[in-house]
Every structure is written in C-alpha cells, then in structure tokens.
Amino acid sequence: MNPFWMRTAGAVCALALVCSWFTVGGHTSTATSRVVSAANTFLSTLDEKQRQGVMFPFNDDKQRANWSNLPVTMVPRGGLSLKELNSSQRAAAMAVVAAALSPKGYEKVQEIVEGDELLKASSGNNPMFGKDLYYISFVGKPSENDPWMLQFGGHHLALNVTIAGDQGILTPTLDGAQPALYTINGKTVRPLGQESDKALALLNALDESQRKQAILSYQLADLVLGPGQDGKTIQPEGLKAAAMNDRERAMLLDVISEWANIAQESTAAARMGELKADINETWFAWSGPVTATPGHNITAYYRIQGPHVVIEYAPQKLGGDPSMHVHAMYRDPTNDYGRGVNKK
C-alpha cells in the first residue's frame, strides 16, 4: 500500500473512531439513560421478592400519591426501605436517587436524612425516625422512552420524580427538616437554609407598598396544598412579581431555583426556563415574623405561586421552636406527576 492510501485509511479510521465515540458517548450521557441504567443496576442486585416489592404498575395512582411528611410508622410507604437492603443494594439504591438529582439536590436529601437520624438519637432512639426508614419505589418500569416514576422518601421527604423520555418532572415533592439546624462533624448544616435566607432577603428588598401586598394579615398554621391535596389550584395571593423590579424578580426566581435545582441539571434548566417565562404571573406571599435570628431559619410561612408552580414553606410549632422544624412543598398544578406530559 502506498503512503497516500495508508494516510487515507488512517484518516477514515480516526474519523470512524471519533464518530462512534460521539455516538456512544452521547448516548450514555443523557440524563434519562443514566437514571435508567442506575435503576436497572439496582434492580439486578435484588432478589425476585424484593424486585416485586419495589415495582408498582404505572397506573397505580394509590402508590403514586402514597407520600407524606409524617414518619413511615404513621403513614406506611410502599416499596423497599433502606433497612431491608444490604450495603451493596443500598449503595445501588442511593445511586438511582443521585442520578435523578443534581449534586446539590442529592446533598439536600442526605442532609434531611441525616437530620432524621439525629432526631432519632435525640429522642431516645425513637423507632419512628432514622436513616433506615426511607423507601425507594418505581411506579412503572424504568425506561428511556416510556414514562415511569422514581419515588424516594420517608419522614420529611417525598421525592416523586416522573421520567418521560428526556423530561424529568420533580413535582410534587415535599422536603422538610427537623432539626432545621444541626452540627455534624464540626460542620453546621441547614437542609433548608437557603430556602429560608433567600426568601427573607427578597422580603427585605421590597419597598413598603410592596411589602404591604406581600405580607398577609392572617396566620397560616400549615401547608395548604400538602400531602393528599393533589390537583388543586388555589386563588393566588400576595404580591405579584409584575409589580417587582428586575432585581426583585431575579431574587424570586432564585428562591424558586432552590426547589427546581434539586432535579438533575438538564431537566432543572428546562424547568427554570419555564418558570422564568411566567415570572410576571408569579405571586409571593408571606405570613408571620419578618425577621429571623441570624444563622437560623425563618419562623414565617411563605408561598410562591405561578401558572406552573406552587411552593409553600411552612414552619411547624412542634418541638417548640418553629425555626427548627419546617415542612415545604413544591408543586406544578399543571404537571404534578407529569400528568401534563403523559396526557399527550
């Protein structure tokens, strides 16, 4: 073979290599395929009985709505608890959750779970709490094309991630914390600290007449659209972002991003684009004290409501200090459980 053909053949081979690398690499790098492959890996570590325990049919609406802020001893969840898994199964289960979330979102989940372990320790080893009592389940078969749902939750946590092709839908998701502030290995942790601080910063940025609209004149003891309240759209209240300036609107979007960005990055970016587009139709309402002890969470309730989002942050009196105990809800009235997507 003469040098010309040698070089041509070499170039063709190199090109083919690059192309195949892109094809294969592009394929394995989609967010959905990563979750699906993690889910299949997890399923492969289970025995037949466990596999049956973790899988639910896609049309099982009862399991779909089987989540709560309450401990699992009070509201039993479906699926497999981490307690029932050995260490490699457990690692595989957590890898599925990690694949569905952003690193920051996954860290938040860990902090909530760690907090519950502390609650257990501080309440005399109370068997209703602890890191073992978190459940994983699949509603529908993990698939890159057909819709299915990953659930992971327990006390103060309910992740409901619907995956439909390249779309990942995090709503409805509940997060919460008790204690909302703790120290572990010398590190101070506030699982929902940013949610609290950013909202308070927004409230402080408002002028007097905006605050008058944003601050509701009545008490709100709890979430209005918590567990079991699917499919309801209440009349929005408070201050509409159309009456905010650009900086305040950006701050509002930043509060929302604390929930939207729990999801894996590419789906979170799409979601943030959607929420940014209807920011002017988004409302901000506040009820309760307008100050907080520095370094602690707020003791006030707030709600953010737009055409495609409802966020509620509701401090709880239980435990004595509302800054230490919070329940929060993240919904999309048009697309909870991906219903808006799956209808098509």
Partner 1 sequence: MKLRFAAAFAVVVLLGASAFAHRLDEYLQATILSVEKDHVEGSMRLIPGVAVSSMVIGSIDTNADGIISETEGQAYARRVISELSLIIDGNPSKPRIVSIAFPTVAEMREGVGEIHFEFVADLPAGGSERKLVFENHHQERIAAYLVNCLVPRDKGIQVVAQKRNENQSFYELDYQVSGADSPTLSHHWWPNLLRSTGAVGFGSIFRLGMRHIAEGTDHLLFLLALLLPAPLLVIGWRWGGFAGTRHAVLQILKVVTAFTVGHSLTLALAAWGWVHVPSRPIEVLIAISILVSAVHALRPLFPGREAAVAGFFGLIHGLAFAATLGQLGLGRWERLGSILAFNLGIETMQLIVVGAIMPSLLLMSSTRAYPSLRVSGGLFAGFAALGWIVERLLGVSNTIDAVVETIARHAVWIAAVLFLMSIVCWLLRKDGVAEFTADPLD
Residues that bind partner 1 (CB under 8 A): 70-71, 74-75, 91, 94-95, 98, 106, 110, 113-114, 117-119, 121-123, 126, 128-129, 131, 155, 178-179, 181-186, 207-209, 213, 217-222, 224, 228, 232-237, 239-240, 242-243, 245, 280-281, 283, 317-321, 324
Cβ partners under 8 Å of residue 31, min gap 6: 99, 166, 168, 264, 265, 266, 267
d(CA 20, CA 327): 48
d(Cα 40, Cα 34) in Å, to the nearest integer? Answer: 10
The residue (of 166 and 230) whose beta carbon lies closer to partner 1 is: 230
Q: How far is the CB of 43 from partner 1 (least distance, A)?
A: 19
Q: Which is nearer to partner 1, 262 or 324 (CB)?
A: 324
**Nearest approach, Cβ of 183 to partner 1 (angstroms)?**
5
**CA atoms of 109 and 175, how far apart (whole Å):** 8
| CA–CA dist 324, 319 (Å, integer) | 8
275-292 burial, b at 16+ Cβ within 10 Å, e below that, comes to bbeebeebbbbbbbeeeb
Kindly tell me which of 139 and 239 has the beta carbon lying closer to partner 1: 239
Query: Smallest distance, Å, CB 48 to partner 1?
Result: 27
Smallest CA-to-CA distance from 329 within 189, 158, 111 is with: 158
Task: Give min distance, CB of 178 to partner 1, in A.
Answer: 7
Which one, 64 or 303, has the nearer CB to partner 1?
303
The structure tokens 């973790």 sit at 54
Burial class (CB in 10 A: 0-12, 13-18, 19+), 194: middle
CB of 179 to partner 1, least distance (A): 5
Task: Identify which of residues 59 and 291 has a Cβ nearer to partner 1 in the complex.
Answer: 291
Question: What minimum distance in Å lies between the beta carbon of 17 and partner 1?
Answer: 32
* DSSP code of residue 172: S
In the complex with partner 1, the residue whose CB is nearer, 43 or 224, is 224
Q: Which is nearer to partner 1, 221 or 290 (CB)?
A: 221
Minimum CB separation of residue 231 from partner 1 in Å reads 10
Query: What is the spatial distance between Cα 338 and Cα 267, in angstroms, rounded to a whole number?
Result: 13
Torsion over CA: 158, 88, 261, 340 (sign):
negative
CA distance 253 to 134: 30
User: Least separation, in Å, of the C-beta of 102 and partner 1?
Assistant: 12
CB of 84 to partner 1, least distance (A): 16
| Closest to partner 1 by CB, 3 or 186 | 186
Nearer residue to partner 1 within complex by CB, 54 or 223: 223
The 10 Å Cβ neighbour count of residue 321 is: 17
Closest-CA residue to 256 (of 333, 330, 157):
330
Nearest to 149 by CA among 270, 24, 56, 259: 56
In contact, 180 and 194? CB cutoff 8 Å: no
